[in-house]
A and B are shown apart, each in its own frame.
Chain A
């Protein structure tokens, strides 16, 4: 079955960097767009960005543009989120999710990894 597992979260100081990874299994990773979604403590869901199945197209939410970089390794079935210049408001659980089909339904989600930005 489809499985997504994030890793790399932790405590980082404001202005610092962190790299999240998402290991995918149970499906043909290179067939699917992938997305990152985050959720601040006690808040709603916020889309972070997506990457096309080939990696040629990447889009970001304005809140993370120029600070976050999404990449993928289809050979390793892995998705990555490089975060820099982190701010307190980036504190959240970060989920990777599979884009199932047209219309952008995110049909499979990882359990999430918590990123805390604090001094």
Chain B
């Protein structure tokens, strides 16, 4: 059972804006930065957002992240069919001394 809580599924139509939530605690999100990963079917995860809201080189600006308190969110604007994937939040946990992943949200583009 993940300590970072994500809704298991989300959906949207092309062009829409969708958001994903990630809820944690003071020992993880509340005191550390959040990273987001995208995992396309059958592939390795890819870093999408780091340090709460920074995009690595090559990630479109349609993807954005934010953090407030012990929660974080990922937003995708201008949804495209190729965005259909699993999305995971992650953060360092000071109590466990390790990286925690959320359970992941499966995005379906209708």
Contact = CB atoms under 8 A, between A and B. Distances in A.
Interface of A: 35, 37, 44-47, 49-50, 59-62, 95, 100-101, 103-107, 109-112
A61 B96 CA distance: 8
B50 A112 contact: no
A95 B47 CA distance: 14
Given A106-B35, A107-B50, A45 B92 contact: no
B35 A103 contact: yes
Binding site secondary structure of chain B? strand
18 contacts: A44-B103, A45-B37, A45-B88, A45-B104, A47-B99, A47-B101, A50-B98, A103-B32, A104-B32, A104-B91, A104-B92, A104-B99, A106-B37, A106-B90, A106-B99, A109-B46, A110-B44, A111-B43
Contacts, number: 71
Interface in B10-45: 32-33, 35, 37, 39, 43-45
Interface core residue of A50, A101, A106 (most chain B CB under 10 Å): A106
Interface of B: 2, 32-33, 35, 37, 39, 43-47, 50-51, 56, 86, 88, 90-92, 96-104
Contacts of B2: 44
B30 to A, nearest CB: 14
Contact of A95 (B32, B35, B44): B44
- Which 9 A-B residue pairings sit nearest by Cβ, starting from the closest? A105-B50, A109-B44, A47-B99, A103-B33, A45-B101, A44-B104, A105-B35, A107-B47, A44-B103
